[in-house]
């Protein structure tokens, strides 16, 4: 039980920051391109209470960590309340939605870099307290993991929205029609233990970029 509590304590802040800042980034970039929806709703904020989804932000990540502590393993993931985006309010809806979607994974990559820099600074100044070292490491891997998952080119994930924005209009329209089935596709990949295969290129890319700062 003590190991389980320690694991959840180490991961709590990194998971909370990774998920909530991911959503805030979507709203911030949407506002840059003309959509005020998230701003009016008070979602462009670092206050996690504005973004927390009780199930996706707390229960699911905690359950995965619990199973991992018991030897069950699992890919750590979660979600927050989606930030509202009015695509029609963007100045160039198709092009700008690519940047709005990319802002989420981009924020996770930026946070992973900040965590690894923090870890490097802690070790340089001689701070070897296990809790802070492990939290920094958790911050790196949680953010790289969420970045990789969200870059999966399956709508409604960010990668799917990015690909939709990059495809020609006719192909984009056809591709976007699979969005209602996107969650089932991801669950199917998880159930068949093939999700990791598709995420591996994005995960390795993230680690390679973070590695430049080690």
Task: Show which residues are catalytic.
Answer: 23
Rg (CA), the chain: 18
Q: Report the first-to-last Cα separation within the chain, whole angstroms.
A: 33
Q: Which two tokens stand for residue 86?
A: 């009015």
Integer Cα distance of 177 and 174 in angstroms: 5
Q: Which two tokens stand for residue 119?
A: 């870890």
Query: Distance between CA atoms of 144 and 200, rounded to whole angstroms?
Result: 11
Nearest alpha carbon to residue 159 among 197, 109, 104? 104
Distance CA 191, CA 193 (A): 6
DSSP reduced 3-state for 37: helix
């Amino acid at each position: 039980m003590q190991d389980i509590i320690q694991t959840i304590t180490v991961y709590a802040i990194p998971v909370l920051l990774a998920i909530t800042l991911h959503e805030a980034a979507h709203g911030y970039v949407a506002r840059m391109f003309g959509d005020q929806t998230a701003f009016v709703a008070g979602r462009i904020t670092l206050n996690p209470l504005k973004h927390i989804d009780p199930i996706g932000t707390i229960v699911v990540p905690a359950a995965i960590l619990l199973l991992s502590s018991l030897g069950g393993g699992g890919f750590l993931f979660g979600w927050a309340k989606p930030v509202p985006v009015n695509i029609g309010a963007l100045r160039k809806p198709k092009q700008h939605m690519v940047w709005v979607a990319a802002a989420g994974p981009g924020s996770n990559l930026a946070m992973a870099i900040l965590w690894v820099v923090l870890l490097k600074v802690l070790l340089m100044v001689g701070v070897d307290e296990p809790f802070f070292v492990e939290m920094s490491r958790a911050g790196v891997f949680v953010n790289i993991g969420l970045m990789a998952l969200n870059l999966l080119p399956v709508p409604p994930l960010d990668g799917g929205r990015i690909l939709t924005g990059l495809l020609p209009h006719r192909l984009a329209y056809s591709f976007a029609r699979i969005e209602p089935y996107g969650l089932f596709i991801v669950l199917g990949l998880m159930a068949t233990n093939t999700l990791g295969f598709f995420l591996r290129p994005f995960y390795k890319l993230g680690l390679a970029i973070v590695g430049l700062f080690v």
